[in-house]
Structure 1
Amino acid sequence: MATRKKNLQLLLSPIQKRCLQTSSADALLPPTRTTTNTNASSSSSFDVHFLMNSCGLSSKSALSVSHKLQLHQNKLQKPQSVLLFLKSHGFDDSHIAQLIEKRPKILHSGVDDTLKPKFDFFVKNGFTGKLLPQLIASDPNILSAAVDSHLKPCFELLKLFLGSPDRIVVALKRAPFLMSFSFKGAVQPNIELLIKEGMHVDRVAKLLSLHARVILVKHDRMVYAVNALKNLGVEPKTPVFLHAAKVMLSISKSNWRKKIEVMKSLGWSEEEIIVAFKRYPYLLACSEEKIRKSLDFFVNTLKLEPQAIITCPEYLSYSVDRRLRPRHNVLKVLVSKKLVKEDEKIVRAVTRISDRDFLEKYVTKYADKVTGLLEIYGGISKAKKMES
């Protein structure tokens, strides 16, 4: 009884500890109201109170989680055991709060039969110190996966390409769903296909680390993407393949075709579109409206030839309203007042240089000579944003 009381004290706030010393676990209950509460509302209040004071959740999060979880003030042994187990494995308050927000039912988990085997597996494979709580908090669904049939093969495959637990955690932070996904069903067949088609293992590692969603698609979709890109001249062994695959797998065949047709209707040949795509795959990730608007600006406002855009297709990804047109308006005024020359550098100024450099070189430099230049560029708030 003394040991249990001591463990409980570790989890409670200072105020609760004082209450515990003078009374019992009933001190966890919120203050008695003058009005009569229903059993349901009392239970809900207790849940919120426990989640805030013992688990570190904010009042808003605790209220939200309380709708998904029911605790009993006389049956706290399992939740308390879970919290003590997590703390014994290096989980701090933020890790525990994050974990419970994502997976409230962990408080009802059995420590010995559910949590311990998985924690033992991760510790054995190098997830010690802060790595373990970072891993579990990134995707609590890991805790519902079987060790032998799921976690082991997943971990072995990730370790094969990523190496250290540190790199695995970094990858899982970007794609926390990675280790809870069906490796045998999709990931492993997709990786085997890409390696067979010539992708180097270093690029597979990059794919897992930075573009994990690409590898999680159904195998038939991956087969389609690989074959389609090879037909366009984009081989899996090339650096651009990762980005091209990411774009192709993110849009349907019909939308892909629509975007091709939009660009053709604006004067591009299909061959020119493919050349531009191979240089900058995210070109075809833009919406049809964005493609139309961008091409209209470059062709009709900047008077660029199609070949110039094909050479630098990333131009089409820039925002016309927030970046390109404000810069162009500033430069038009400066040219009209003969403060800058109208030459090929105008295009570079509109498209290539950073916001900070543009502000310094073309706005603040001439602000005292051209009334309202800052407003033409976008106002005080935009300038402050560039300077911060």
Structure 2
Amino acid sequence: MAGQKENGFSKSQIAELVQKRPSILLSDPEKTLLPKIEFFLQWTGVAKANVLRSIARDPTFLTRSVENQLIPIYNYLKDIIGAEKVATLVRRGSWIFNRTFAKKVIPNVDFLRALGIPNSFIELILFNFPEAIGQKHDQFREIVAEVKEMGFDPLKSTFVLAFHAPFGEGNKFLWAHCYETYTKWGWSKDDIYMAFKKHPHCMLLSETKISGVLSYLATKMGCESRIIARHPHLLFYSLEKRIIPRCSVVHLLSLKGLVKKDKSLNTILCPAVASSVEKLWFWKIAK
């Protein structure tokens, strides 16, 4: 315990370490802790407080060999995503530094490269969705094949989003929950897959978000919910900051006969905030 305190861990972090890895009480801090802390400080430039927090969250860092695992993994990642993003992964406490890296991540990256996936997409997966690329290689190949069968082009960025949406950590549950929510709103299987192909992350939204947007557009704008399947990007706009304010303006304009009631939702919601279109609407009301 004294060794952990000397290395800078707080009492709560020590308690977290002991709870997750009791064997640390029997280890020699000079051999177990210090080399790993020094590695992350010297190689990644991450502040000591962040390093200690990451180690406390994931003590498996302490089981890694600096020479045989941490340094090779760091160099591999740095060559793909750059030193700054590797440092960010360390601050996040990413599991990507674990011992299955050579058995899972590297073969999976090699497989993506063999398919001709651009390096920029591989970088995106490693940095933003590392859990998706850390699966067993056979399972990973099956997932990639399934995404390709859905019609996604590996050379387009939607392939990465489609790959992550149903198969990332915890995402299968979200996918099923979203599917159920959309069906409650009258969407068919074809509607759901059409929306998914246009914006894969529409299958990672909460029920509250989906129902909030669809309910407002249906009740206040008279829009059939299935129409949104053709424009799933509309689901990502803020209900309070964009959808309600803009639709309220259009509703008032339609009552005054200044705009058609069936005005396209894309026309209403897609222009940038404070656009000239929005200002013109308010000007018309003022007249």
Normalised by the length of structure 1, the TM-score is 0.55
Classify 1:345/1:208 alpha carbon distance in 2 versus 1 (closer, same or farther; 3 Å): same
Structure 2 portions without partners, runs of 5+: 19-23
Matched, 1:133 2:48: yes
Q: 1:227 aligns with which of 139, 145, 149?
A: 145
Q: Give the superposition deviation at 1:183.
A: 1.1
Classify 1:337/1:97 alpha carbon distance in 2 versus 1 (closer, same or farther; 3 Å): farther
Q: Give the superposition deviation at 1:269.
A: 6.2
Query: What root-mean-square deviation, in Å, do the aligned CA atoms of Structure 1 and Structure 2 show?
Result: 4.4
Matched, 1:212 2:145: no
Normalised by the length of structure 2, the TM-score is 0.70
Matched, 1:177 2:92: no
Match of 1:46 in 2: none
Q: 2:172 aligns with which of 252, 260, 263?
A: 252
Classify 1:234/1:147 alpha carbon distance in 2 versus 1 (closer, same or farther; 3 Å): same
Classify 1:123/1:255 alpha carbon distance in 2 versus 1 (closer, same or farther; 3 Å): closer
Q: 2:121 aligns with which of 200, 203, 211?
A: 203
Match of 2:104 in 1: 186
Residue deviations 1:28-51 (CA, integer Å, cap 9, x gap): xxxxxxxxxxxxxxxxxxxxxxxx
Residue deviations 1:317-357 (CA, integer Å, cap 9, x gap): 3355664345423432343245x433676634642245555
Cα separation, 1, equivalents of 2:13 and 2:178: 44
Residue deviations 1:349-387 (CA, integer Å, cap 9, x gap): 6422455559x73898699x69xxxxxxxxxxxxxxxxx
Cα separation, 2, equivalents of 1:192 and 1:332: 54
Residue deviations 1:173-192 (CA, integer Å, cap 9, x gap): 35633224631343233323
* Contact 2:40/2:46, CA 8 A, preserved across alignment: no
Tell me the matched-pair count. 275
Structure 1 portions without partners, runs of 5+: 1-70, 84-95, 371-388
Classify 1:346/1:317 alpha carbon distance in 2 versus 1 (closer, same or farther; 3 Å): same
Q: 1:168 aligns with which of 81, 86, 89?
A: 86
SS of the residue aligned with 1:284?
Answer: helix
Match of 1:284 in 2: 203
Q: Give the superposition deviation at 1:309.
A: 3.7
Q: Which is greater in Rg?
A: 1
Q: Give the superposition deviation at 1:310.
A: 4.8
Cα separation, 1, equivalents of 2:184 and 2:150: 17
Cα separation, 2, equivalents of 1:109 and 1:216: 29
- Larger RCO: Structure 1 or Structure 2 (Cα < 8 Å, ≥ 6 residues apart)? 2
* Contact 1:291/1:316, CA 8 A, preserved across alignment: yes
Classify 1:265/1:148 alpha carbon distance in 2 versus 1 (closer, same or farther; 3 Å): same
